[in-house]
Each structure stands twice: as C-alpha cells, then as structure tokens.
Amino acid sequence: MTTLLEVKGLTKTFGAVQAVGGIDFSIHVGRCVALLGPNGAGKTTTIRMIAGLLSQTAGTMRFHGFVKGDYGKGKVHIGYLPQSPSFYNWMSGLEYAVYAGRLCGLPAGTALKRAKELLERVGLSGAAKRRIGSYSGGMKQRLGLAQALVHSPKLLIMDEPVSALDPIGRREVLGLLQELKEETTVLFSTHALHDAEELCDDVIIIRKGQIALQGNIAAIRNEHRKPIIELQLEQDEVSIKWFTDYKDRLSRWSDEAQEASFIQNIEQQGAAVRFTVREVDSARQHLLEVLTREKVKVSRLEIGHTSLEDLFMKVVAP
C-alpha cells in the first residue's frame, strides 16, 4: 500500500492556545479516513493545515511526494470542502464550478464538461444556472463537493461535510460519498462516530489536539470489544440497597479476587446497571445466584458487547 499523505508531529499554536499538539498519521492511497473528535478537538485546524490554508507551528507533512517548500505544488491534487463553504453569491453554480476547474488548470472546454458532469452527479443540474445566493444550505454543500472534485483530485478533504445538514440532506451526501470513496482517497472530519462507521476504513480519533486512538475501524472494534451484562432493576428498597452494597465492595475486589476474576467494571446509568465482564458464563452464573439469594427484583437481564460508541465516549471523555 502506498502512502499518499504522511503527517509527523504536526502542531499548531494560536498565541497561548495549542489547537493541535503534535499528531502523527498516514493515509494510504484509496482509503477513506475519518478524523473524529468532539467540538474544539482541533479537527478544522488539522484539516486546514493539510489543505495548505494554515501554516503549521511545527511538524512536517509529505503529500504525494511533495514536502516543505514544495508542499504547495501538491495543491493540484487536493480537493477541499470547508466546514461551511461560501461562494460568490452573484455567480451561478455552473459558473462557479467552471471557475474552480479553470483555477485548477483545466482548459475552458474541459472545465465546462467536468463542471456539468459533477453538477449532474451531485443533483444540482436543475439549479446550475441559478444564482448561488438563492441556494439552500444543502445545495451549497453539494456545490462545494462538485467544485472540490472538478479537477479529479487524488485526495478529497472535507471538514464536517454532513454536520450542518438535515437528515435527508445527510443521507444524500453520505450516499454520494459512498460512491466517491471508490474513486479517490478521502479524509473527512466529523464529530459523529456514526458517520465514520458508515463510510470509513480507518479512523483517527483526536481529543484536545492529541491523537487518542487510530487505526482500522473493524480492527479497533474487535480489539476493544468486551462482553457486557446489563441489568435493569426495579426501584424498590431491597434492590437499591443490594446494588449500593455490591458497588461498595468494588474497591475491595482487587484483594478478595473471586468476582474480580470475571467482572472488570461496573457502571450505573439510571435504573440500568452495566457490568463489563471478562468471562460471560461465570459472571452470569455468579450474578444470577446473587440476585436470587438477595431477592433483587430484576426486570431485565441482557448479554451484549461494548459498542464503538462506548469506546469513543471513553476515549474522548473530558
């Protein structure tokens, strides 16, 4: 697998604020990569440095063989869609897409042809001749995609491409991206794990400007997958007391061992109690015995697995 983009120790500080604090990752040709993180994690800052709109405080980037002073030459192979794109409102969608193509070095005829193709593809051909000023947010996002793709870039970079859209617009754009990722390498940022899971091969989770976790999504899911047992208790005195006592013993588990060999962690979410377990069978056996003995009123008992969502929440939790 060839590396398209390699980022090493990328850092950006704004005055006293460190927005991005030394991150390393690489993107291979043909992959779809999500840059995932909560608000303020440094996604936009990272993406703008990669797009060449912001110069880094420290660190190096190598894109398609271009480094340092040459990095700007790589721009021909990058398509960029910002978080909330703004265009020239007095132009029509078609004029803008043609203009973008021409700025990327396409001859007039080719630019027009490509612009029409792409507007058709993103579903804007009906509105191609209308002023951009009259477009809705979703239409602008789709025009943003069209203008980013007009020169067939090797890397498509998008900053939160679906965050500002309604559910229908989101579906449409996600569908488009599903097709596009077959044709080019894609890097996009998002704060929703769901989008990353749906589209991407790889994920880079960042938090406070640092990489918290990165790798292949499927691999991460398998690696961090842990069995869980979820209990729903009725809110009567006996049950509540049992749970409080049981949880109190948590601190002593490490010495006493027995339960500690199969129960790893215990969490309460409202009326539900969640046990992360090492071994399902003995934990289930143990819990059922205890619950019967103590006459705890259980309304539901469920065996499952931790989701990627749980991992994400754990990783990015403040």
Partner 1 sequence: MTSSFTRLLVMVQKELLELVRSLKLLWVPLVFVLLGVMQPASMYYMPLILEKAGNITEGAVIEIPQPLGSEVLAQTLQQFGTLGLLVLVLVGMSSVSGERNSGAASLILVKPIAVFSFTASKWTALLLLAWGSLSAGYLASWYYTGLLFGDVQASKVLGSLLVFGLWLSFAMTLTLFFSTLLRSSAAAAFSTLGTAAALSLLAGLLPKKLGWLPGSLSSFAYQTAVSDIANVSLFGWALACTFTLMAAALTGASWLLRRSSAID
Ligand X SMILES: Nc1ncnc2c1ncn2[C@@H]1O[C@H](COP(=O)(O)OP(=O)(O)OP(=O)(O)O)[C@@H](O)[C@H]1O
- Give residues in contact with Mg ion (CB under 5 A): 44
User: 105, 126, 175, 215: which one contacts partner 1 (CB under 8 A)?
Assistant: 105
Least distance from C-beta 59 to ligand X, angstroms? 15
> Residue 19: which H helix or E strand, with range?
strand 17-28
CA-CA distance, 209 to 41, in Å (whole number)? 5
The residue among 44 and 147 lying less far from Mg ion, judged by its C-beta, is 44
Which of Mg ion, ligand X, partner 1, none does residue 17 bind to, with CB < 5 to 8 Å depending on kind?
ligand X
The residue among 88 and 137 lying less far from partner 1, judged by its C-beta, is 88
Which of partner 1, Mg ion, ligand X, none does residue 104 bind to, with CB < 5 to 8 Å depending on kind?
partner 1
- Residue pair 33/201 in contact by the 8 Å Cβ criterion: yes
With binding defined as CB under 8 A, does residue 236 bind partner 1?
A: no
With binding defined as CB under 8 A, does residue 103 bind partner 1?
A: yes
Residue 93 zone, left/alpha/beta (φ > 0; ψ -120 to 50; rest): alpha
> 300, 233, 290: which is closest to 263 by C-alpha?
290
The interface mask with partner 1, positions 79-98, x = CB under 8 A, is -x-x-xxxxx-x--------
Least distance from C-beta 27 to partner 1, angstroms? 18
Listed in sequence order, the residues at least 6 apart from 283 whose beta carbon sits closer than 8 Å to its beta carbon are 229, 262, 263, 275, 277
For partner 1, how many residues bind (rule: CB under 8 A)? 28
The residue among 47 and 165 lying less far from partner 1, judged by its C-beta, is 47
The residue among 51 and 229 lying less far from partner 1, judged by its C-beta, is 51
The residue among 37 and 74 lying less far from ligand X, judged by its C-beta, is 37
CA-CA distance, 6 to 155, in Å (whole number)? 12
User: 20, 51, 127, 145: which one contacts partner 1 (CB under 8 A)?
Assistant: 51
Listed in sequence order, the residues at least 6 apart from 267 whose beta carbon sits closer than 8 Å to its beta carbon are 273, 274, 276
> Residue 308: which H helix or E strand, with range?
helix 308-316
With binding defined as CB under 8 A, does residue 52 bind partner 1?
A: yes
Least distance from C-beta 72 to ligand X, angstroms? 21
Q: How far apart, in Å, do the first and last CA atoms of the chain sit?
A: 35
Tokens of 191: 């704060």
b/e per residue, 30-39, with b = 16+ CB within 10 A?
bbbbbbbbbe
Which of ligand X, Mg ion, partner 1, none does residue 19 bind to, with CB < 5 to 8 Å depending on kind?
ligand X
> 211, 167, 226: which is closest to 34 by C-alpha?
211
Binding positions for partner 1, rule: CB under 8 A: 14, 48, 51-55, 72-73, 75-76, 78, 80, 82, 84-88, 90, 99-100, 102-105, 144, 147
